[in-house]
Amino acid sequence: MIRRLGWCLVIGGLGALTPSTMADQFEQLDGPTLVRTLKGPDAKAAASLTVSDLGAMPALLRDSRSALVLARTDRGNPARLLIVPELRKPADGKGEPIPVVVLERLDAFDAADPSTRLASRRDVVVFDGFQVDLDSGQVVPEGQGGDVIFRAKGENGPRLEILGDARLFTLAKAPALDNAKAPQPTPGRAVLPGDFAGRYRLFCNGQSSGTLDLKVEARGVVTGLFRSDLHGTTYPVSGQVATDAAQKVLFAIKYPRARQEFEGYLWAEGKGAMAGLASIAERSVGFFAIREGGRSAPEGSDVGPIAAGEADRPGRCLVEVRGEQIRLDGNVATFEELAAALRPRIDNPEGPAPWVVLRAPADSKFADILKVVENLRALGIKTVRFEAPGPEKDEAKK
């Protein structure tokens, strides 16, 4: 038996990982970029932002339609916010809805060291009269360091106002982010030292993750940066391409009080990922890293985790694996019955091309899952998406 992460990663070796593994644009607006943006000509200071102002702001980030607002706290620290105005029903359900603002995402960085994130909060609901200390990301009472206050009443209507020395900023256009294409590896299966260079999404032992940028200099010297998803802080990376194996690289992330060392092996086929061991304080754990823009699947395959918004794409077929039993759209079926049911959909040129959402319990055997995937491929199903196991859904109970 293998756990959910286990079989998802193993199956991931068969197919391409989706863009959801990549950091979003809000995260790309990191501390140093935020400081530069606040000093630029496109940042316009605002003493207050009404609900109408927030609702009319254009979507400046590719992956969010929420209002992007920047700030400088009363302590001079830069902050970034995604804000959504809402109407909330009273707790007793009676009366008119009341206006609030929701700070979908809030991050503040240290002005003295912009690579260090001071606070990170999500979905903070701010009611009338509530103050928010952006340095800590907390709702605070009056006199306790509030930077902004939400006022639901007044001549200008519901609005978010600054307090003290804090400042709010809107942007005339999308912020300039580092969208430079990361270095790509050479074609073919032979691994050269420069093939390790690039941008990766790194995941370590299911506990930490972040963006890893590697450069390879003369004689295989490795340099780079690692930006932690948890803290938003950027740490230096150093290392060396190994001489005893072409696919092997040794590198380390230097934290303030510790050093984490990695021994990784680059995939020869596609060079789109690497995996290996990471150690800190003499304790070894597993890690893997997916290259941005790289290929991590055999040519012609389209197998991988289901992406956000993909579940309702036309042609969807639900196949469940329960040990040696399989179900198609909730009905128990043999492989022969599965083929008979899918064949008309595959051969119908006028209908949408069928694709499969594959669902399995967390303790499924890899062999059972692989057998189903191979049968689907043999039928001509070109797209298979894996849905993360969770509570049984209605379709599974039919």
Residue 9 — very low, low, confident or very high, per pLDDT cuts 50/70/90? very low
Domain end point (choices 291, 322, 357): 291
Total domains present in the chain: 3
Name the DSSP letter for residue 109. E
**Do residues 79 and 150 share a domain?**
yes
Amino acid found at 216: V
**Do residues 251 and 116 share a domain?**
no
**Do residues 41 and 165 share a domain?**
yes
Residue 359's pLDDT is 86
Place of tokens 């941008």: 199
Is 208's pLDDT higher than 80?
yes
| Better-scored residue on pLDDT, 77 or 2 | 77
**Do residues 194 and 116 share a domain?**
no
Lowest-pLDDT choice from 249-258, 272-281, 310-319: 310-319
Domain end point (choices 291, 319, 348): 291
Residue 193's pLDDT is 94
Place of tokens 């930077």: 147
First-last CA distance in the chain = 26
CB 153 within 8 A of CB 136: no
* Residues facing residue 295 across a β-bridge: 271
pLDDT in tens, 112-144: 988 888 999 999 999 999 999 999 999 999 999
d(CA 281, CA 56): 51
Residue 309 — very low, low, confident or very high, per pLDDT cuts 50/70/90? low
Q: Which residues contact 209 (CB under 8 A, 6 or more apart)?
A: 201, 202, 203, 228, 229, 230
pLDDT in tens, 43-54: 999 999 999 999
Q: Which residues contact 6 (CB under 8 A, 6 or more apart)?
A: 366
CATH code of 221's domain: 2.40.128.120
* Residue 130 vs residues 64, 113, 146, 156: alpha-carbon distances, Å: 25, 29, 9, 18
**Do residues 203 and 332 share a domain?**
no
pLDDT in tens, 352-372: 878 888 888 877 777 788 888
Is 61's pLDDT higher than 60?
yes
pTM of the predicted protein model: 0.56
Residue 307's pLDDT is 65
Judge whether 8 lies within some domain: no
